[in-house]
A and B are shown apart, each in its own frame.
Chain A
Amino acid sequence: MNPPALFETYERPSPLSGVNPAIKLATSIVVMLAASVVFDLQSLSGIFALGLVVAVAGGRVPLRVIARGLVPFALFGFGYFWMNAVLPREAGTVLFEIGPLAVVREGALNGVRFAVRALCFGIYSIVFVATTDPTDLARSINQNLRVPARFTYSALAAYRYLPTLKSELHQIRAAHRLRGLGEGDGVRGKVVQIYRYTIPLLAASLRRAGRVADSMETRGLGREPRTDFRAVRVRTRDWLYAAGLLAAVAAILLAAAGAGVLELWRGRLWE
C-alpha cells in the first residue's frame, strides 16, 4: 500500500497524536529556535537525529513520508550549501574546481551546517504536521490559547477548501489548453499565464469564501458563550512530552559544550 500523504498521516494513531496540539506546536517551535542559535555540525546533527527518532518512534511516521516531506527542506539546504561552498566569505583551501567555480573546504563545511539546520526545521515540522489532526489543533488554539472561535474555525474552513483549490487549478489549466493556450513560453509567458490562472481561481475562491462565511454565521459562529464538542485539555503527559524533548535537546548541547565543539551562530546567512 502506498504511504499516506504527509497531511493525511495524522489519521494513523500514534503516541504523539494524543499530545495536546498547542503544546506540541510550541515544543517544535522552541526546538527550531534552538537549532537556529547553535552552529556546530555535531549539535545540529544531534538535534536532527533526535527529531528523526521522535517522528519514527513517537509519531509512527513512515520513513517514505518523512523522506518526501524533507525534500523541499533538502533542496533549500542544498542551495545554502552550494552558495557557501563556491562563494565563501573568506578564502580557504580549494577542494576541487568545477569549471570556473572553486569549491572551498571551509565554505563547504559551513554550507553543510546550514543544510542540516534546514533539515532540522523540516523534521520538527513533520513531527508536528504528520501527527496532528487539524480540527484538534483549531480546538486547542481556541480552548487552550483562548483565540476566539471566529478566527480558529474560519482558518479551519480555509484549510478544508485547499484541495478544492488544487483541483480547480487543474481544471483551469485544461480549459486554457483547449482555448489554444499552451503553457506560456519563456519567463514572460509564464508570468502572463499565472495571471490568467489567478483571476478565475480568485473569483471562484472569493465567491466560495463568502458563501462558507454565510453558512457558518447562520449556524451561530461568533455567539458567546459556546460549548465544546471535544474538550482538548492540557494534561501532565503533554508537559512531560515538552519537558522530555527539550531536556534531550539540552543534553545534546551540553554534550557538545563538554566536548568543546559547541558553536553559536553569528547571525549571518552567509559565512
Chain B
Amino acid sequence: MMVVELDSLTVRYPGAARPALHDLSLRVGGGERVLLLGPSGCGKSTLLAVLLGLIPHSLHAEVSGVARVFGDSTATPAERAGRVAAVFQDPDSQICMLTVEDEVAFALENLAVPPQEMDARIDEALAQVGLGETSDRAVGRDSPTERSNARAAPATRRRRVDRLSGGEKQRLALAAALAMRPQLLLLDEPCSNLDAGGVSQLAAALRSLAARPAERTVIIVEHRLDAILDTLTRVIVLDRAGSLCFDGEPHRVFSDHARELETMGVWVPAAYRRKPGATVATSAAWRTGATPLSLQSEDAAVSRRRTEARHAAAAAARQFGENRPASPHGERAAAATRPHRADHPLLEMRGVGFEYTPGVPVLDGIDLEMHAAESLALLGPNGSGKTTLAKLACGLLRPTRGSVNVGGRPPHRIPARELPGMLGYVFQNPEHQFVRDTVRDEVAFTLKRQPIDDAERERRIAETLRRLSLTGFEDRNPFSLSHGQKRRLSAATMLVADAPLIAFDEPTFGQDWGHLLELEEMLAALSEDGVALLIITHDLALAERIADRTLHLPGADS
C-alpha cells in the first residue's frame, strides 16, 4: 500500500483568488525520505495539513480530488495520530504541557499506550533526539531569567519546558512525535524559528535518526538543512501556483534545475548554487525610479560599498535641499547635514555595561560608534546580549555603566515624539509596532507631530510607500499583510521620518527562503540610500553581504 496517494488534489482557501494547491498528483511509498520545496505561498504547509487531516477537519478549505494516507482519505487528525506525526515550525506554539516527560507522554496517553510501557518509550524518544539523561545537559541561555533559574536543574525528564532553549524545545517536539512510532513523519519547517545553534542541534537529531527504522516515511519542508541532504531519497518541488514542478532524486533535481530553482526563489543547497554568495534579484518590485536598488552579485556589493559614502552624502543633501559636495569623509558630511547636534555620531556608546540581575553582567565595556550610511552587523550566540545592546541604543533600557548617546543625547531623555526622527527599530515581530488601522495611517502616524503641510505629508507618505513596494496597499489593515510586507511597512514607518539609523532585530528570523531574499534586497537598498543599519542577526552570510563591519559579542561562557 502506498503511504501517500494524491490524485488531482486541489485545495482552495475561502476567499482566495487562486488555489493553494492545484491539480497535484503524486505517490509516496514506504521508506521514502522526501524533501518538499517551493517558493513561499506554494502550498507546502497546505499539503502537510491535508496529509495530517487538519484540512478539511480543522481548517476550512475547499478540497477536490483525492488525498489518501495509508489508503484512507476521511480520517480526522486525532484518528491519524500515531501512524502519522508532525513537527511544526514554531517551538513556542506546539508544546502544550509543562514538563519534558509530560509533553512526550501526552501523545502516548491519547493513543492509550499501557502506562507501564510509557517510561521506556519516553526515554527512548528523548534519547533519539539527544535529550536523554546522559546527553547534553546544557541549560538554555536564551535569557538572563533562564540563566538565573538554572538552580539545581532537575533531571532532564522533569525539566520545565519554559526553561528550555528554542533548539531544545524543537527537539522535544520531535521526541513527542517519535514516541508515537509513526510510519509517516511530517516536518513542517522545523528549523525556521531556530537560531543557528538550534538548527545544528535539530539537524544532528534528524541525522541520527535518518533511515531508522527503514520503513518509516519522512516528508520534510525545510530550506536550511544542508546537513541532512544526503539522507534524503527524493525532492519534490511545487511552483508558485501550487502545482508539481520537479520530482526526482535530489542530486538530479538540484544539478539539472539549480538555475530555475534559484529564479523561483527556492532554496538550493550550497553545493549546487551557481556562485557562492550570489544574491538573486527576484522581485522587480524593488527597482524604483530613483536608484537602481537590485544588488546582483558580490562584485556589485563591493562596488556598492565603495560608492556608499558618496550615495549617503547625496541622499542627505537631497533630503535637506542642500547641495553639498561629496567629500572623502562622506559619512561625516552626511551626519553634518542632520538637524540634531550636527557633529555627533548617530550612535555613540562608551564603556557600556548592563546587568539585569546585579552582579551578572550581560554586556560590559562596549564601545561603539555609528555614523551615517554605515551598516553594522551585530553577531553572537543566544544570550550574548545582542538585543540588550540594541535596546540600550534605543533607550528601552538604561546602561548600568557607561554612556549611550543618540545624536548627542541619552536616548531615554529624548521625548517619545522625537524618537522616530532619530532612530528606528524593526522588531522581530513587526505586528507589535502597528498602532493604526490602515497602511497609510500607519505611516502618517509617524509624521503626526511634524510641522509640514498636508501636500508635503501626502507626498512623503506616497514616496515612502513606493520605496518599500507598498503602493496599492494603502487601505489595507496592517495586520492583513503578508509577513514580508509587515516588515517593509515597519521599515516604512521609520523611513518616513527620515530616521538616519534603523535597527533590525533578527530580520531573517522565522522567514522562509523567498522572504530571506526579499529582505536582503530591502536591507541592501536602504543601505544604498544612505540609511545606517544596525542588524542583529545569527546569519553570517547575510552579515557578510550587507554589513560594512561586524561586531561579534562573545557568548556568556567564552
Contact = CB atoms under 8 A, between A and B. Distances in A.
Interface of A: 1, 134-135, 149, 153, 156-157, 159-160, 163-164, 168, 171-172, 174-182, 196, 199-200, 203-204, 207-208, 211-223, 225-229, 231
Interface in B125-176: 151, 161-162, 173, 176
B54 A214 contact: yes
Nearest to B96: A157
Interface string B60-82: 00000000000000001111111
B431 A203 contact: yes
A222 B58 CA distance: 13
A212 B93 contact: yes
Interface in B396-452: 396, 415-420, 424-425, 427, 429, 431-435, 445-446, 448-449
Given A157-B96, A227-B113, A227-B114, A219 B107 contact: yes
Contact of B115 (A172, A207, A227): A227
A174 B427 CA distance: 10
A221 B180 CA distance: 13
Interface stretch (B84-92, B260-268, B315-323): B84-92
Interface stretch (B97-105, B227-235, B296-304, B530-538): B97-105
A179 to B, nearest CB: 6
B92 A164 contact: yes
Nearest to A169: B432
B96 A180 contact: no
Contacts of B109: 149, 226-229
A160 B115 contact: no
Contact of A218 (B77, B161, B415): B77
A135 B114 contact: no
A157 B106 CA distance: 12
A218 B97 contact: no
**Among the interface residues B96, B151, B419, which one has the most CB atoms of the partner chain A within 10 A?**
B96
Contact of B434 (A156, A200, A217): A200
Contact of A223 (B79, B86, B161, B162): B79
B78 A217 contact: yes
27 contacts: A153-B96, A153-B97, A153-B106, A156-B97, A160-B162, A171-B427, A174-B427, A175-B427, A178-B396, A179-B433, A179-B445, A179-B446, A179-B493, A196-B435, A200-B432, A208-B92, A215-B95, A216-B96, A218-B78, A219-B110, A219-B176, A220-B78, A222-B110, A223-B78, A223-B81, A223-B111, A226-B110
Given A160-B161, A174-B391, A229 B54 contact: no
B479 A218 contact: no
Given A211-B93, A212-B93, A227-B115, A172 B78 contact: no
Contact of A160 (B90, B97, B177, B417): B97
B115 A231 contact: yes
Given A159-B98, A172-B432, A181-B435, 14 more contacts: A149-B109, A153-B97, A160-B98, A180-B416, A182-B415, A200-B432, A211-B93, A212-B96, A217-B77, A218-B77, A223-B79, A225-B112, A227-B112, A227-B114
Contacts of A180: 416-420, 445-446, 448-449
B396 A177 contact: yes
Q: Which 4 A-B pairs have the closest CB atoms?
A: A220-B110, A220-B81, A229-B105, A215-B94
B394 interface: yes
B178 to A, nearest CB: 12
B108 interface: yes
B366 interface: no
A180 B107 CA distance: 47
B433 A178 contact: yes
A219 B85 contact: yes
B346 interface: no
Nearest to B449: A180
Contacts of A176: 432-433, 435
Nearest to B54: A214
A163 B84 CA distance: 31
Nearest to B53: A218
**Among the interface residues A156, A168, A221, A228, which one has the most CB atoms of the partner chain B within 10 A?**
A221
Contact of A177 (B101, B102, B416): B416
B504 to A, nearest CB: 13
Contacts of A160: 95-98, 161-162
B93 A222 contact: no
B111 A178 contact: no
A160 to B, nearest CB: 6
**Among the interface residues B53, B76, B94, B424, which one has the most CB atoms of the partner chain A within 10 A?**
B94
A163 B449 CA distance: 36
B52 interface: yes
A218 B86 contact: yes
A229 B88 contact: no
A225 to B, nearest CB: 5
Contacts of A212: 93-94, 96
A156 B96 contact: yes
A236 B95 CA distance: 35
B118 interface: yes
Contacts of A208: 92-93
B18 to A, nearest CB: 23
Given A163-B162, A214-B77, A223-B79, A175 B94 contact: no
Contacts of B106: 153, 216, 219, 221
